[in-house]
Each structure stands twice: as structure tokens, then as C-alpha cells.
Amino acid sequence: MLTFQDFEHEGRGLIPRVISEHRASELYQTAMIADEYDRQRNTTICNYVQTLFSLTGSRVVDFTATNSRIASNFFNRLNTQRCAYSLGNGVAFADDEEGRVKAALGPAFDKQLSDCAYNALIHGLTFGFWDVDRLYNFPVTEFAPLWDENTGRLRAGVRFWRLGPDKPVTATLYEEDGYTTLTGKDYGALEVAEEKRGYRQLIRMNQADGARVVGYENYGSLPVVPFWGSRLHQSTLVGLREAIDSYDLIRSGFANDLSDCAQVYWLLENYGGMDDTQLKRFRDRLKFQHIAVADTNDGGKVTPYTQEIPYEAREAYLKHIREGIYEDFGALDVHTISAASTNDHIDAAYQPMDEQADLFEYQCAEFIQQICRLNGIEDAQPLFKRTRISNQTEQTEMVLSAAQYLDTRTILKLLPFVTVDQIDTILENLDREEGRRLSDGEQA
């Protein structure tokens, strides 16, 4: 593992090795596999082929067998649920009624944060680069970090990418005092394309020259912030992959059996004179042409036998695996909630998801606070309004019954159908309506 101290000792010449070792790391390899599962191209089932053993004992591909490969979408579904549960309504900030913090972060911050958070979940780690007024997501498949040996902090890193194997490589070295752009034909031969420069441009305006760059400045620390998806510092694919693979293999095998009728077999009578080669030829003819010649003079007979596909057992096992996946991930399976469920029943169903959301939101809050510090905001306290189904009629009645004891902002926060971003607009509209009523009253 190469660290920031190694980079300080060897300089830019270490960059190709930093990229190479990062691409060979377990973190990178797991992230690449997680991307495939996220795209519903589950690697185990997509690479699966049916095999059989030949007469010599060697393993060969069974080209006659149907090879249905049905990939489930559990991975994308579960991670989308966890991310949207906490961030689907955006993030708000305590004691920020004037919107000072949200204004500093920009109007698109909620979406940019959600992109980073999702990658943090499926990869285990992602990096957010703050560029003046915008947050960029650097996934671990594109960014090689350089950690400090003594403090464990991120002190530098290299972002790398290329459009295709025949295209040049571009890499950017991010340090606390600026960034350097490099390029080359491959990862092992990078040269400086643009020398180090600061992160923020200082622009001077005058009537003669218009806008002119007069210098650069940096932040107080590295503007690339690590975002861990969990306290375990690992991808959500770890431990979940085997259950998804088992589900995919059983479901695909079920489809193959229905196509091939793999449980159909033949019993040959009075064909003892056949050797192995003749038996194989006889079987292939049955399989491909569905015709068999029986020598009735010698008592030859071919009798087909069928066996019912164990449908109920497989369905029960698939259901068991599905329930286990949701339970282990701490997600909500909506099929477990009926339309007549009360809020107490719904809250009980959400309990595992709430526990996981608490841990995830700790990671989100730490990441957001570091981004805010880059903008000079030291006291930011992120607030999350979770997206969840509920008996809205029951919840609304409960809030309105206590309305006389609550202020208007608190009532709006508690109403299930009002999002965080709508509260300020509603309050402004109420103030304008109240002003018009007072004005009309004075004129009367």
C-alpha cells in the first residue's frame, strides 16, 4: 500500500505505480464487480455455463443444454432504497431558516450528494471533490487515494480515466496546494501536461481588459473528501453477493429445466450389446431427432420416463432466499405490509431499516460537514427527512389534533406529504396571504 509519505519521498514518478497498485487492490476489484451487479449484469450468473463430464472424466461444456441466465436486480433495488430513504427528500440544516447553508452549497447539491452517497454504498468508499460551487463524485474506480501514515487522513490522490483501450490516459494529481494534470499513452507512461495550479481563480475586472485571471488560491485543506458507505468500510456487495447468486442460479435452473425437460430419461431393454460409443450415439439421436429404432425381434424396447419438476420446493426456497436478503440487508419488503396496516405495524416493519439508516446518516453527516468546512461553514448540522410509506390519514389526524400546541413550521415538518424543500415556500405564501388580508381589512 503506497501512502502520502511514499509520494513525498519519490515525487511524481510514483504516480504510475500508485494507479497500478490501486487497480490491483481488493477495494478496486470489488467496486468493479459491484458496478456489474448494479447494472443487473450479475457476474456469476452471466458467466455461468452448464457442463458435464465426458467418458474420460474431463469436464466439457454441454452445448445441447439450454443456458438461461436470469439476473435479479436485488443489488440496485436495495441500495437505491437505502440511499433514497435518507436522501430522497434532500438534506436540510438546523437553524438555517434563511437558507444560508443551502445557498452556499448550490441548488444542485442534493442530487450531487445523492450520487456520492450511492457510490459510497455500492463501492464502500467514494470521494467528493468540491470545486468552488459544485460537488463532483470521484468513485474508487477512478481515484487512487494517498493516505497519511501517521493520521490516516487523505492528503492527496490521483484521478485517472480513459475513453477506451486505444485512447490516451488522463490523470490529475490532487494535492493540498493545487492540482497537476498528466497524460500519456498508457498508465505506465504519464507526462505532465499542465503544471500545478491552485483550485480557485482570482479574477480582476476592468473596463479595458474585461475579466482577467490574476492568480490562484487554495482551500484550507485538500478539497477531496472521502465518503465511507458504512462503519465497516466495505461494499454492500460483501456478504450479499452469495445470496443473490444462489437466487439467480435456482431461478435460471428452473427455466432451463422447463425448456430441456431435464427430468426425462429413457430405459433401454435388451440393448446390452452396445458399447459406450453406441450408447452415446443412440442417446444423441433421441435427444436431437426424437426418434429411436427398437429391435422388437430381439425384445428391444425404449421406454421414456418423466419426473415432475419440483416446483413447490423451488418456489419455497426462492421465497426463503428473498426474505433472507431483505432481512440481512436491513431493507423493507413492501409485500410484508398490507393496505390496512396501522402506523404501529408500519413502524415495526421499518425498524431494521431505521437502524441501518441511522448508521448511514452518520457517514453522510460527517461528509457534509467536511464539505461545509471547505466553504467556511463550521456549525452545519445536517437534518434528514426519511422517505417512507405510512398511513397518511392517521398521521395527519394526529398532527392536526396537536396543532394548537405547535408552531406552523413544526406542523409542516410533521405532515407526511410535505417535503423539507416545500416548507419555506409554504410559509412565504402564508405570509403573503396574511399581508393581503390585513391590507384588505385596513382599506375596508
The pLDDT value given to residue 413: 84
Q: Could you tell me the three cell numbers for 256? A: 432451463
How far is 361 from 209, CA to CA, in rounded Å? Answer: 48
Lowest mean pLDDT among 175-189, 271-285, 329-343, 417-431: 271-285
* Residue 18 and residue 2 in contact, taking contact as beta carbons nearer than 8 Å: yes
Q: Give the start-to-end residue ranges of the domains of the chain.
A: 265-305, 391-444
The pLDDT value given to residue 361: 96
What is the b/e burial string over 255-282, where b = at least 16 CB atoms within 10 angstroms of the residue's CB? ebbeebeeeeeeebeebeeeeeeeeeeb
The pLDDT value given to residue 211: 75
The pLDDT value given to residue 154: 97
The tens digit of pLDDT for each residue in 380-425 reads 999 998 887 766 677 788 888 888 888 898 898 888 778 777 888 8
pLDDT band at residue 283 using 50, 70 and 90 as cut-offs: confident
Model confidence at 20: pLDDT above 90: yes
How far is 33 from 207, CA to CA, in rounded Å? Answer: 55
Give the count of beta carbons closer than 10 Å to the beta carbon of residue 164.
6
The tens digit of pLDDT for each residue in 74-122 reads 999 999 999 999 999 899 998 887 888 989 999 899 999 999 999 999 9
The pLDDT value given to residue 250: 87
Share of the chain residues as helix, strand and coil, in percent rounded to the nearest 5: 45, 20, 35
The pLDDT value given to residue 416: 78
pTM given for the model: 0.78
